[in-house]
Structure 1
Amino acid sequence: MSTDGAATRHRPREQWTGQTGFILSAIGSAVGLGNIWRFPGVAYDNGGGAFLVPYLVALLTAGIPILLLDYAVGHRFRGSAPAAFRRLWRRLEALGWFQVMISFVIAVYYAAVVAWALSFFVYSFDLRWGDDPAGFFTGTYLQLADVGGADSWVTLDFVPAVLVPLVLVWVVTLVVLGAGVAKGVERANVVFIPLLVVAFSILVVRSLTLDGAADGLNALFTPNWSALGDPNVWIAAYAQIFFSLSVAFGIMITYSSYRRRRSNLTSPGLVVAFANSSFEILAGIGVFAALGFLAHQQGIGVGELEGLTGPILSFVTFPAIVSQMPAGPLFGALFFGSLVIAGFTSLLSILQVVSAAFQEKFGIDRRQASLRVGVVAAVVSVLGFSTTTGLIALDTIDNWANNVGIVASAVLTCVLVVWVRREAPALRYHLNTVSTVQVGRWWYAAVGVVVPAVLGYMLISRIVTLAVDGYEGYASWYLGVFGWGTIVFLVVGAAVLTATRWRVDPDRYDAWPPFPPGPAGGSAGSKNSEVSR
């Protein structure tokens, strides 16, 4: 049998050059904006040091198990999310396209945030935000519309300061994607991930030397043990893990499909998971040390500061810190440069999910897929997020895509693969056959019981909250169109793409190694026999 499985009519599948390239690329996907601007604030708001308990539990019981599930599906069935799920079970193709649609939606707004970071990287050198970072970000830079007041909720009033870097981000992204997995995505990550670690480490060391840094660290790590009794704290931990680890929306399925047949999966998975979490904790130290300095300068407690998470932390609070510290321009360049790198490597992985799926479904090469998918995504991104209402749209769509879309995808994957199709034994056998670190039977409990139960509760509670309380005080009709409408778009898009005819037969494929093992196992195992017909 060849390294790409049984003979198919597909062109030879691209591959990573080796394990190091795969690990760095997977880390590049996992380490993104959420590590830097989301984790520190989420931890602070949900028990401080005590938050590390549910965070670690979420990592071990959900993050790593789902990561290994994605690896097993992608590597065993060697395809994009739709192709891999279809080869596992024909009826699961729609789930793969649902994940592709999630990636498409996330990519179009994620690029906008990378563009913001690129702008502020340039602004760092002359501290262009002046003495009013908040007014500069929402007023001068974003030119944010007065929605609900004098201005419309939806406009096509473009903001040049956002439009220009956004177009640049898309051009560079498409060039890298068009170069392919090894020559494009892998090379970018091999350069940028070490650079990110070095730049952010310098930033953290500098933060720790600032006056008031200890106060910031005390605020972050002092545990509030009573918070562990709040279900919302646990929901926040699982949500952070899922957004950060890049699981359940096709990325790791796609990335693992580019590994050679006999490639270790579990050890790299653990490296990626713990590297991601280590960077989050590093980001928390750097961010809160800097926040302690800002509070010290203003003569207030860290808890009295505003904007401790999300875009406000990055584009309002941090500029204020930079303006007041020695060598502020250098500090600002390091911070926003890190945001650009982390965001760009994650954007590459998100778009690779979409590109790979369209390559396989429509029989086109990577350059065609990158151009066609990228141009559509770029146009949507520019029209939606370089306008005066772009921030509101981004905030709304991000909330629904992540907290409803990705969580629903994870629940469906576990229920359908583990309980309906009963494929967990074959996937565990696959992981153990090719890997050095063996996966025990605990994995069945994690992906079959813990993840569906915890995330199912999380999904239902979030849907009820959004339906009853709305979101951020935004107009109900707006949430219906851009919030719930996002979910409708995901479902309809998945249905349409599933119904579209494959240009190259995806079912001419034999899973390797055979399961159950031995002569009775057949070429693809009794449960996968339909894919080899």
Structure 2
Amino acid sequence: MMMTSMLTMDKGENEGERDKESLRTLMVQQTSLDRPRETWSKKMDFLLSVIGYAVDLGNVWRFPYICYQNGGGAFLLPYLLMAVFGGVPLFYMELALGQFHRSGCISIWKHICPIFKGIGFAICIIALYVAFYYNTIMAWALYYLLSSFRATLPWSTCTNPWNTANCNRYMSSDHNVSWSNSSTSPAEEFYTRQVLQVHLSPGLHELGSISWQLALCLLFIFTIVYFSIWKGVKTSGKVWIDAAAQIFFSLGPGFGVLLAFASYNPFHNNCYKDALVTSSVNCLTSFLSGFVIFTVLGYMAEMRQQNVDAVAKDAGPSLLFIIYAEAIANMPAATFFAIIFFLMIIMLGLDSTFAGLEGVITAMLDEFPHMLVKRREWFVFGLVCVCYLGALSTLTYGGAFVVKLFEEYATGPAVITVVLLEVIAVSWFYGTNRFCNDVQVMLGFYPGCFWRVCWVAICPCFLLVSGMHSICTLTLSCISCSN
């Protein structure tokens, strides 16, 4: 009798807890629905915005280079595993969080775990200094685009004022022209000596003057950005470590963008399906970019009679502005394809910039609604001005060094740390069961065992290992620089 009564009591307590949890979820749902909030004009606007954010310049140059550096096809296995067990679960988690709580990356923590509110401010800071250098790459692309409107592309010949004696157009009709170790291509000299003018700066310790041409290009880019987002969303092992880093950077959890975009969705929108569709498009785009760059690198290595290693010696934007540009210069109708290509680069970058700044804007407007909501246009204007002023160091003669510094050492460890803290806060403090109940209220089904295990254990482990690797790499780099 005593055992029976104890079992009955336990059962009653469990049912009571479930009832309390259901009541809490319904109250949160009602509060979310009662808050007036702008929404997307239609579902396709949301999907295209998320895809535009996830598919960015990194898909064009970062994925192919990392894939090549880590064994080509052999890299695809860890990349896919990291996508399935790390990137997509985090992508799904952020969409669900933003949609349920209808909040940006700062104010959302008062619903989840207030002690982690600092994560939101960290996300905004990261988004700001990403804007300091990311848009500069689009300014370079705009310079190339404007330079493409001529019969002969300026990076296709060695007869320009910026060319040196080492310039060698090895792909000309004169097949007797040979390539040597001291040779430089006209595309490389146009990029380094005319666009960047990096030869006028010895390094980070002496950046030199600001290039007024690039400053005007960047001003035009930020003008487009402002008038696109001022009104709101209606208008706008090492192989394994590299695979994890590429997935997190490519899909973009941890930047506050997914939280912001999802917060404008209808409450019962199927964010699970959205996560699968958008992440699949992103990964397929990376694969396509990889196939293209490998083809171009192989062709150029054959023409130079060099190994592919020698052709692909640099990572980052040089793949766009030297390798791709040189290949385009040797195509029929080179001017047309150059215009199309660099216009595409600008479009890819603009989508991600819109999203990144919208993440900051949504976070600040949700956190300080009485102060900023009615002054959104002025706040956006001030934010764009801050980003432009912060980017001035990247427009100097040594600006390429600053871009490389930000790209390789500033963003990676910070983003990985933020995402690690985010998934720990949601899974371990807010609670996976509570989060899954929220998803069930929105979507009508409870997340499966696979997603729960990923959120609780697999994603934190992946992020912890990646973060430790990044910190160790930075430490070793600092030691080597000091020596």
In the superposition, the TM-score normalised over structure 2's length comes to 0.82
| Counterparts in 2 of 1:262 and 1:462: CA distance versus 1, 3 Å | same
Distance in 2 of aligned mates of 1:58 and 1:66:
11
| Structure 2 residue 172 is matched with structure 1 residue 143 | no
| Counterparts in 2 of 1:123 and 1:291: CA distance versus 1, 3 Å | farther
| Structure 2 residue 347 is matched with structure 1 residue 337 | no
Which position in structure 2 is the counterpart of 1:489? none
Which position in structure 2 is the counterpart of 1:414? 423
Alignment partner of 1:377 out of 369, 373, 387: 387
Q: Secondary structure of 1:310's match?
A: coil
Map 1:391-410; keep pairs closer than 5 Å: 391-410=400-419
Indicate the percent of aligned positions where both proteins have the same amino acid. Answer: 27
Which shifted more, 424-433 or 165-174?
424-433
| Counterparts in 2 of 1:45 and 1:7: CA distance versus 1, 3 Å | closer
| Structure 2 residue 290 is matched with structure 1 residue 284 | yes
Q: CA deviation at 1:2?
A: 11
Q: CA deviation at 1:352?
A: 0.4
Which position in structure 1 is the counterpart of 2:3? none
Q: CA deviation at 1:166?
A: 0.3
| Structure 2 residue 156 is matched with structure 1 residue 130 | yes
Q: CA deviation at 1:146?
A: 5.7
Superposed CA offset, 1:42-76 (max 9, x none) = 11111211111011101011101111111122112
Q: Which amino acid aligns with 1:431?
A: V
8 Å contact from structure 1 (residues 267, 437) kept in 2 = no
Distance in 1 of aligned mates of 2:208 and 2:101:
43
Alignment partner of 1:47 out of 65, 71, 85: 71
Distance in 2 of aligned mates of 1:19 and 1:156:
48
Which position in structure 1 is the counterpart of 2:261? 255
Question: Over alpha carbons, which structure has the higher Rg?
Answer: 2
Distance in 2 of aligned mates of 1:15 and 1:100:
22
Q: CA deviation at 1:342?
A: 0.7
Q: Secondary structure of 1:158's match?
A: coil
Q: Which amino acid aligns with 1:134?
A: E
Q: CA deviation at 1:432?
A: 3.5
Distance in 2 of aligned mates of 1:371 and 1:298:
48
| Counterparts in 2 of 1:293 and 1:436: CA distance versus 1, 3 Å | farther
Q: Secondary structure of 1:81's match?
A: coil
Distance in 1 of aligned mates of 2:33 and 2:482:
50
Q: CA deviation at 1:5?
A: 4.3
In the superposition, the TM-score normalised over structure 1's length comes to 0.75
Map 1:427-506; keep pairs closer than 5 Å: 427-435=435-443, 439-470=447-478, 476=482
Which position in structure 1 is the counterpart of 2:305? 299
Distance in 2 of aligned mates of 1:42 and 1:27:
22
Which position in structure 2 is the counterpart of 1:172? 224
Q: CA deviation at 1:8?
A: 10
Q: Secondary structure of 1:461's match?
A: helix
Q: Secondary structure of 1:291's match?
A: helix
8 Å contact from structure 1 (residues 358, 369) kept in 2 = no
Which position in structure 1 is the counterpart of 2:42? 18
8 Å contact from structure 1 (residues 385, 393) kept in 2 = yes
Q: CA deviation at 1:262?
A: 1.5
Q: Which amino acid aligns with 1:130?
A: S
Q: Secondary structure of 1:260's match?
A: coil
Which position in structure 2 is the counterpart of 1:390? 399
Q: Which amino acid aligns with 2:378?
A: Q
Which position in structure 2 is the counterpart of 1:92? 116
Superposed CA offset, 1:215-238 (max 9, x none) = xxxxxxxxxxxxxxxx00011111
Alignment partner of 2:60 out of 36, 39, 44: 36
8 Å contact from structure 2 (residues 39, 264) kept in 1 = yes
Which position in structure 2 is the counterpart of 1:326? 332
Superposed CA offset, 1:397-444 (max 9, x none) = 22233321110011111222212x142222222333333786312222
Structure 2: 5+ residue runs without aligned partners? 1-25, 158-185
Alignment partner of 1:272 out of 273, 278, 302: 278
**Runs ≥4 residues deviating over 6 A:** 1-4, 7-10
8 Å contact from structure 1 (residues 26, 272) kept in 2 = yes
Q: Which amino acid aligns with 1:461?
A: H
Q: CA deviation at 1:19?
A: 1.9
Distance in 2 of aligned mates of 1:328 and 1:302:
24
8 Å contact from structure 2 (residues 198, 397) kept in 1 = yes
Q: Secondary structure of 1:104's match?
A: helix
Distance in 1 of aligned mates of 2:330 and 2:313:
17
Which position in structure 2 is the counterpart of 1:242? 248
8 Å contact from structure 1 (residues 359, 369) kept in 2 = no
Superposed CA offset, 1:371-413 (max 9, x none) = 12111112212x2211112111111122233321110011111
Q: Secondary structure of 1:129's match?
A: helix
Q: Which amino acid aligns with 1:6?
A: T
Distance in 2 of aligned mates of 1:394 and 1:90:
35
Q: Which amino acid aligns with 2:456?
A: G
| Counterparts in 2 of 1:417 and 1:4: CA distance versus 1, 3 Å | closer
Distance in 2 of aligned mates of 1:352 and 1:457:
30
Q: CA deviation at 1:4?
A: 8.4
| Counterparts in 2 of 1:154 and 1:13: CA distance versus 1, 3 Å | farther
